[in-house]
Structure 1
Amino acid sequence: MQNCENYNHIYIQNVAWGDMDAFGHINNVIYYRYIENARISYLDQLDIFNYPIYVVVAFNSCKYLSPVLYPDILEIRVKISELRTSGFRMVYIIWSRQQQKIVAEAEAILVCVNKDNGIKIPLPNAIREKIIAIEIDSHNDL
């Protein structure tokens, strides 16, 4: 299991009553929405939406470690663990303030595509440099 160190980007997610399912805990699909919120927050930090690219999810996974109940506040910690030619791997840790522990771990592989034709393209160098600066500041090796 991962620890929470070296995650410079933290997205705060309030658990909503409507996020719970019939079993009284947060539905598994909701975790992906939370992860998406954290991912977009990180990508905003890169100013990536001002480039002529889309960043699409090629792979997503989530390992559920403990059920989350309302009320709770989750800290979704995000880092980029691997840079690739046309994209990168993001990893996430979801920390429950109520439970004081990691309740889920997730990862996603994102790929850059041209906005006009949808063809995979290299990650722009300016974005790559911003990622390196953020992750080095967090003492992460890429």
Structure 2
Amino acid sequence: MNPVVYGVALEVRWRDLDAFNHVNNASYLGYIEEARVRWFKSLSSDWAGESAAPIMAAVQLNYRRPVNWPETVRVELFAERIGTKSLTLGHRISSASEDGVLYCDGHTVLVWVDRSGQSVPLPDAVLAACAG
């Protein structure tokens, strides 16, 4: 397995729950997005700047078990594939308090585009973080 490039603990919010009192499937994407944005922001203040920004081209999630409330989840990101203009980021959502409890895994494909919508090379800060 690839080394983790970024990890963060996030509190599950009451509003994340569905009618069955566990976290709604769409909220998992929100947790992954929050981790991704925090990681990008830690790399560069201009991660979504005037010249280019990442867009999500694809996402794949494997729901392993429901998340109940209250809970703190740990979201981990790792580089699965580094292209010239795209990055496949693997992700795992697990329990921050109970070892071995995996809620979700999968990956997201991100492409960097300029303001006209044309793909551009990955930022140097992202390449360096993924290579390290």
TM-score scaled to structure 2, two decimals?
0.88
Residue 118 of structure 2: aligned partner: 119
Between the two proteins, the alignment pairs up a number of residues equal to 129
SS for the counterpart of 1:123 is coil
Residue 36 of structure 2: aligned partner: 39
Residue 66 of structure 2: aligned partner: 67
Distance 1:125 1:18 in 2: 37
Shift of 1:9: 1.3
Distance 2:125 2:93 in 1: 29
Gap runs ≥5 in structure 1: 137-142
Which aligned pairs between 1:9-48 and structure 2 lie closer than 5 A?
9-47=6-44, 48=47
Which aligned pairs between 1:79-94 and structure 2 lie closer than 5 A?
79-94=78-93
CA spacing shift, 1:29–1:64, aligned 2, 3 Å: same
Give the share of equivalent positions with the same residue, in percent: 25
1:47-101 CA distance string (max 9 Å, x none): 1234610100000111000110000000001112211010201011111135531
- Structure 1 vs Structure 2 CA RMSD: 1.8
Gap runs ≥5 in structure 2: none
Amino acid at match of 2:4: Y
Query: Which is richer in helix?
Result: 1
TM-score scaled to structure 1, two decimals?
0.82
CA spacing shift, 1:27–1:57, aligned 2, 3 Å: same
